[in-house]
Amino acid sequence: MLNTVASNLILTAEAPDFVRLRLVNNFRQSQNGWSMPDIAACGEGWALFKISVKKNQISDAPIEVLRCFVSYTDHDGVPQKHRQQNLFYSRCLQMRLKPLRKMKGSKTECPN
């Protein structure tokens, strides 16, 4: 497909022992993570996790609860790996993962 900017996407997620993760999406699990659908120019991909944190670990200070990586093959057939994305949580503050705005190898500029 000419508009495909990322294929063979693999999502890898890591969490500390006090965090239980469950991927809600219906992605196929592989040895390296979860296989995600290809992404076309200006398209998007997302994953939804249900996260449970042991109560005794929650405080006012932020704690890392999730670390994600996405690897894929770009439009030119070159393997790529996006930088690590972290999710932190605290009783007072919730931070979200930043969206990945542009895939390497994409020739298309997309609106925010």
Q: What are phi and psi of 57, to 5 degrees?
A: -95, -15
- The reply to whether the predicted model has a pTM over 0.75 is no
Euclidean distance between CA atoms 63 and 87, whole angstroms: 8
Q: What is the pLDDT of residues 23-67, one digit of tens each?
A: 999 999 988 899 999 988 888 888 888 888 888 888 778 888 888
Please state, in angstroms and rounded to a whole number, the distance separating the CA atoms of residues 38 and 36: 7
